[in-house]
Structure 1
């Protein structure tokens, strides 16, 4: 009904019957949640996972978490999404993700492929950074994206990092990162998508540059540039160099100690 007839309502009825009779609960719960998301009843899908995941195998919990993250994103439940992403990162830190293995087999569009712990960590950090951006916590999002880029860099996260810096009025840093994307040297470079987004962000950046920063883009002499930078430093409040995400990630150890 789901795949051939496209009868999603009928498929949900059968998934419920499978869950209540204990028939392939792992796949029935996951597939039903995906169908519910397609029907824009994500709240019901979240409730179903919460009610039935206790009947599912340990091996299925990670995939159910991934479905939940998508559902939280669909519903705008940003805080719940952040909490779950942190929980999954904590499992990686504890060595419990992927059932203790360094890789796992994933499936997308009917094709199987291998995912490493390194790739999964970077992916989760990218999702966490995006969630912080939705809360307009750009300093925290920047810290997360920087950490993700250190682990497994790609163009999409680089563009998001550039956007975080633009939102913090740190135009020079943003320009350098976006120009790096346009050079095509980062993994995941895509001529059509990544380049277009980087170009759009650079255009937005240049339209927002305050007058005191124009010298950097117009190529004025170094002495004038240094003078303007000194004025900016005098006007700007002192900002801590320690990024908060490292405090949050390091707090995992404190939680474990408790």
Structure 2
């Protein structure tokens, strides 16, 4: 009886050690292809083997949602982003409806990594359209997100502002600063923060609208915006203002011709996505003035 008790205690200690191993390395239990892939990724630090095992998991139908997303992330780390994009496009049909949103987020990062700005813009606008139609977050007002191993709640309001911020940055990469300005202003109306304010200030500088840019950047330094205490944003605002000083002596010139056909086409697409069926809009979109009103200001 006593030996049995010792054996039981030993197995209990072993179980605790095993539990601790899985917690520390964030590796799931089991011996399936997906578990082996995560072990190769997180414990062995062998990304090539991890990718092969993720493929095996997908083909075996083993946690396909997670396997496809995790494989794409590992591919991105190995500068195989184009391959990751094709994998998601080819196999996302095997994934659940609940996983499509997170796969879109991975795709956006992959498009950014590859410099596929047009694809990035189209996907961001599609995600914003889903919010407008009330179909994002599976119809719920919030969703659970994870960052650095910690879970937190994200609201539709926060997600809308985040997507608009990403869209504004994408337009900046195309040097379409007028469209970027419009989008950043929308984002600030929904959920203002200092980082997007700095980007908006940069858009205005690029359009030689120096007084407007100065006003926005000074708001960041004076703590008039949420997250204005963020050291990086404050430092960036200081750098932009320093860059702005020698330009202030120059006359301001707004290039109205910047509203070219491509800009108007993109603008109309957003209006088409958000304009009809106003009754279906989420309240957050009802609070925002139309794009054209803002451009007229």
Structure-1-length-normalised TM-score: 0.85
CA distance in 1, matches of 2:217, 2:231: 15
Instruction: Check whether the contact 2:178–2:258 (CA below 8 A) recurs between aligned residues.
Output: no
CA distance in 2, matches of 1:170, 1:238: 15
Q: Which of 161, 165, 173 pairs up with 1:134?
A: 173
Q: CA deviation at 1:8?
A: 0.5
Equivalent residues in 2 for 1:48-67 (5 A)? 48-67=87-106
Q: CA deviation at 1:191?
A: 4.6
Map Cα deviations across residues 136-164 of structure 1 (whole Å, 9 max, x no partner).
00000000000000000000000000000
1:9 maps to what in 2? 48
Q: CA deviation at 1:211?
A: 3.6
Structure 2 CA distance for partners of 1:83 and 1:21, relative to 1, 3 Å: same
Structure 2 gaps of 5+ residues are 1-39, 279-297
Q: CA deviation at 1:188?
A: 1.6
CA distance in 2, matches of 1:114, 1:107: 9
- Runs (4+) of structure 1 exceeding 6 A deviation are 236-240, 254-257
Please say which of residues 102-111 and 248-257 is displaced more in the overlay: 248-257
2:235 maps to what in 1? 196
1:44 maps to what in 2? 83
Q: Higher Cα Rg: structure 1 or 2?
A: 2
Q: Which of 216, 219, 230 pairs up with 1:180?
A: 219
Map Cα deviations across residues 73-112 of structure 1 (whole Å, 9 max, x no partner).
0000000000000000000010000000000000111100
Q: CA deviation at 1:246?
A: 6.0
Instruction: Check whether the contact 2:75–2:81 (CA below 8 A) recurs between aligned residues.
Output: yes
Q: Given the alignment of the two structures, is residue 150 of structure 1 paired with residue 160 of structure 2, yes or no?
A: no
1:250 maps to what in 2? 271
Map Cα deviations across residues 205-238 of structure 1 (whole Å, 9 max, x no partner).
112234447xxxxxxxxxxxxxxxxxx79xx869
Structure 2 CA distance for partners of 1:172 and 1:56, relative to 1, 3 Å: same
CA distance in 1, matches of 2:257, 2:176: 18
Structure 2 CA distance for partners of 1:203 and 1:4, relative to 1, 3 Å: same
State the SS of the aligned residue for 1:2.
helix
Q: Given the alignment of the two structures, is residue 20 of structure 1 paired with residue 41 of structure 2, yes or no?
A: no
State the SS of the aligned residue for 1:106.
strand
State the SS of the aligned residue for 2:179.
helix
CA distance in 2, matches of 1:109, 1:115: 15
2:248 maps to what in 1? 209
Q: CA deviation at 1:252?
A: 1.1
2:292 maps to what in 1? none
Q: CA deviation at 1:5?
A: 1.5
Q: CA deviation at 1:248?
A: 3.7
Structure 2 CA distance for partners of 1:3 and 1:237, relative to 1, 3 Å: closer
Structure 1 gaps of 5+ residues are 214-231
Count, aligned residues: 235
Structure-2-length-normalised TM-score: 0.74
User: RMSD between aligned alpha carbons?
Assistant: 2.3
State the SS of the aligned residue for 2:42.
coil
Structure 2 CA distance for partners of 1:36 and 1:254, relative to 1, 3 Å: same
Q: Which of 93, 107, 121 pairs up with 2:146?
A: 107
